[in-house]
Amino acid sequence: MTIVSRNMKPTRFGFGEGLVIAGKRNTNLVCLGADITSSVSLNYFSEKFPERFFSMGIAEQNCVSVLAGLALSGKIPVFSTYAVFAALRTTDQIRVSLCYNNLHAIIGGAHAGISVGPDGATHQALEDIAIMRALPNITVLSPCDSTQTKKLTIAAIEQCKGPVYIRFGREAVPDFTDENETIKIGKGQTLLEGNDISIIATGHMVWEAIEAARILKKEGISIRVINIHTIKPIDEEIIIKAARETKGIISCEEHQISGGLGSAIAEVLVKNHPTKMEFIGMNDCFGQSGSPAELMNYYKLTAKHIAEQCRKFLNK
């Protein structure tokens, strides 16, 4: 299977596009902004449906409380801001108002990961997956590119029953998901087949994993690449199958290793099929200011670093 990027596009654009499509289908869809409307692509919706968009000011905790009220009133409410505010500043409101009541509402965590770049450590959400997946009733999504973000945004609105957290980034990344592809929440995707190592990645790291597999293919190393776009509920079947059919698993995420995708994978494996595993991500540290490319390289989250980790893994 050949995976080709059509263009470079921020995943946040897909979020905005998905909201517009879903908004046309359902007049009960409403959106809340927190003074950074265009930064998180909520302007796509606000320009199309101004009567269904509400600017709440820089008051993220209040936004989630209003989100709950709208859900209880029969609306399908969406709120988005930077993930450090959407997931961390509002954890209490998400836990008690949304999750405890199992309300159908969508939270968009934008500018996630180290690739936010110059904004620095305070604005680089690296703990949101761990926090959100620990909460009962919530679905946690981490799409790999803009097209998949669009598809998962629509699915979150139209298919889910309870609260949903969608994580996406700021910088333009390769957009390679087929427009005609069916995306199912809770089902991972095997993008490349291989029998030496399984790289299981999420978000922006999926493309880096694909590129690493291409590097290693030239060296005769066969890599299976799996995209886990749904962190919770996680696809246990695809993980167990990878563990049984390859020599080990390497997780890749633009997030803290502790509590993130790698931890979720390890939980599945220890119960079902223990196997050798390595973790690629932020190793218990904060980020810093720099260009996205500089930071991805500094924290060893690029394709060349993944490839090097795979070589070491096989040589153990």
Q: Where are the domains of the chain?
A: 7-175, 189-315
Q: What mean pLDDT do residues 35-61 have? A: 96
- Determine the CATH number of domain 189-315: 3.40.50.920
Q: What mean pLDDT do residues 147-155 have? A: 98
Q: What mean pLDDT do residues 10-27 have? A: 98
CATH architecture of 7-175: 3-Layer(aba) Sandwich (3.40)
Give the pLDDT confidence score for residue 191 in this predicted structure: 97
> Listing from the earlier edge strand, what are the strands of the sheet with 189-192?
189-192, 223-227, 197-201, 249-256, 277-282
Cross-strand bridge partners of residue 54? 32
Residue 311 has pLDDT above 80, yes or no: yes
Q: What would the pLDDT profile of 64-107 be if each residue is shown by its tens digit?
A: 999 999 999 999 999 999 999 999 999 999 999 999 999 999 99
Question: What's the token pair of residue 30?
Answer: 């409403």
Give the pLDDT confidence score for residue 84 in this predicted structure: 97
| Burial profile 259-298: b = 16 or more Cβ within 10 angstroms, e = fewer | bbbbbbbbebbeeeeebebbbbbbeeeebeebebeebbee
Q: What mean pLDDT do residues 144-149 have? A: 98
Q: Are 310 and 197 in contact (CB under 8 A)?
A: yes
Give the pLDDT confidence score for residue 111 in this predicted structure: 96
Over the chain, what is the mean pLDDT?
97
CATH fold match for the domains 7-175 and 189-315: yes
Q: What is the pTM of this model?
A: 0.97
**Furthest CA-CA distance within the chain:** 60
DSSP-assigned letters across all residues of 252-286: EEEEESTTSHHHHHHHHHHHH----EEEEEE-S--
Question: What's the token pair of residue 10?
Answer: 């921020």
Give the pLDDT confidence score for residue 108 in this predicted structure: 98
Rama region for 149: left / alpha / beta (φ>0; ψ in -120 to 50; rest) = alpha
